[in-house]
Amino acid sequence: MTKRALITGITGQDGSYLAELLLRKGYEVHGLIRRASTFNTARIDHLYVDAHDPTAKLFLHYGDLSDGARLVTLLAKINPDEVYNLAAQSHVRVSFDEPEHTADTTGVGTVRLLEAVRMSGIKTRFYQASTSEMFGATPPPQGEDTPFYPRSPYGAAKVYSYWITKNYREAYGMFAVNGILFNHESPRRGETFVTRKITRAVAAIKAGKQNDLYMGNLDAVRDWGYAAEYVEGMWRMLQVDEPEDFVLATGVGFTVKDFLDESFTHAGLHWEDHVKFDERYLRPTEVDALIGDPSKANAKLGWKTTVEAPELARIMVDADIKALEHSGSHWVDSIDLASWNH
């Protein structure tokens, strides 16, 4: 029997890697996409086969986590074996600008989806994209039992989603789990997250198209892994006998400065010659240090990372240099747009 999965957030970084993984494993994959005035499926276009083609295994459906009725009808129609809730307003800095929208999507959106599972009466396994941002001000190392202390509207919304997922597990006996993932990056990472912002800038500076890079707090410590490895961990969490929450992380921390140094040096540049401070990139409350303890996932899921931040920086720089070489002025336009905000 072919397994069916529904992925919310399929157009995002993780959604695209997870869709690839599940298609490789023989799943029929359904994705929730938002209607936009421009195409927003660039990360999954290479996976798409026209639905009229009998070999088609990927199906996209318009919907939004703000629209509960749509979620109910969609779940009843698709009847998936597994639901991965990856959709969110996922940018921490933006969540200070749009706290209410973030609460609605990143927080209440989760209960809408859980409730849709319950109301549609389907039997499915549910994955919630929880985050190390929930630990916030609690110092590292952070594991499954570390207390939460969120430091942003995003972190607070994710704490709600974490607990409501756990509550549906306990209240209704649902197979619903939280993957508490530390930062994970890739060449598909959104352009305004710090790693990708850095590696895109390195490519543009190297090509003589940009000189300065404006940034915020360079002392923050993060545990950066490779996104393609993390989606395998998500899938494994839904394959075990009992629903449990797991941390996924590399277990090693680096500063933003370390990531800058590795990225610029890899391209034969010095970050000190280009990086300038702009306070707009500071957060009203910062998360100083996140370093995860992945030992439970290592032991119970057999999941372990192989890529740490320095190698990740090199992979991303190489990809952005290549992308710039294969694109025209449109790319430079989008760099300008990305540097405008966050």
Residue choice 44, 71, 103, 129 for contact with ligand NDP (CB under 6 A)? 129
Tokens, residue 152: 């942003």
**Touching ligand NDP, residues 9-28 (CB under 6 A):** 9, 11-15
| In the complex, minimum distance from the CB of residue 257 to ligand GDR, in angstroms, rounded to a whole number | 10
Residue 206 or 292: the one with the smaller Cβ distance to ligand NDP is 292
Of 16-24, 42-50, 117-125, 217-225, the window that binds ligand GDR (rule: CB under 6 A) is: 217-225
Contact residue for ligand GDR among 105, 131, 186, 199 (CB under 6 A): 131
Residue 217 near which of ligand NDP, ligand GDR, none (CB within 5-8 Å, type-dependent): ligand GDR
Conformation bin of residue 136: beta by default, left when phi > 0, alpha when psi is -120 to 50: left
Q: Which of 82, 76, 61 is nearest to 2 (CA)?
A: 82
Please tell me whether residue 217 binds ligand GDR under the rule CB under 6 A. yes
Structure tokens belonging to residue 117: 């599972």
Catalytic residue from among 20, 28, 82, 133: 133
Give the 3-state secondary structure of residue 40: coil
Comparison of 120 and 255: residue with beta carbon closer to ligand GDR: 255
Residue 118 and residue 168 in contact, taking contact as beta carbons nearer than 8 Å: yes
Residue 127: active-site member: no
Name which of residues 64 to 103 contact ligand NDP (CB under 6 A).
64-66, 86-90
* From the list ligand NDP, ligand GDR, none, partner contacted by residue 216 (C-beta under 5 to 8 A by kind): ligand GDR
3-class SS of residue 203: helix
- Please, what is the minimum distance in Å from the beta carbon of residue 71 to ligand NDP? 10
For the beta carbon of residue 24, count every other beta carbon within 10 angstroms. Answer: 8
Q: Decide if 133 is catalytic.
A: yes
Position 186 contacts ligand NDP (CB under 6 A): no
Write out the H or E segment, with its range, that includes residue 99.
helix 99-102
What's the burial of 48, exposed, middle or buried (CB within 10 Å: 0-12/13-18/19+)?
A: middle
Identify whether the C-beta of residue 179 lies closer than 8 Å to the C-beta of residue 129: yes
Work out how close the CB of 287 gets to ligand GDR at its nearest, in angstroms, rounded to a whole number: 6
Contact with ligand GDR (CB under 6 A) among 160, 163, 175, 281: 281
Residue 80 to residues 77, 123, 139, 174, Cα–Cα distance (Å) = 9, 8, 38, 14
- Ramachandran category for residue 268: left, alpha or beta (phi over 0 → left; psi -120 to 50 → alpha): left
Q: Does 229 bind ligand GDR (CB under 6 A)?
A: no
The length of the chain in residues reads 342
Name which of 232 and 286 has its Cβ closer to ligand GDR. 286
Other residues' Cβ atoms within 10 Å of the Cβ of residue 170? 10
How are beta strands 221-222 and 254-255 bridged, if at all?
antiparallel
Residues annotated as catalytic are 131, 133, 154
- Catalog residues that contact ligand GDR under the rule CB under 6 A: 90, 92-93, 131-133, 182-183, 192-194, 197, 215-217, 220, 222, 256, 281, 283, 286, 342
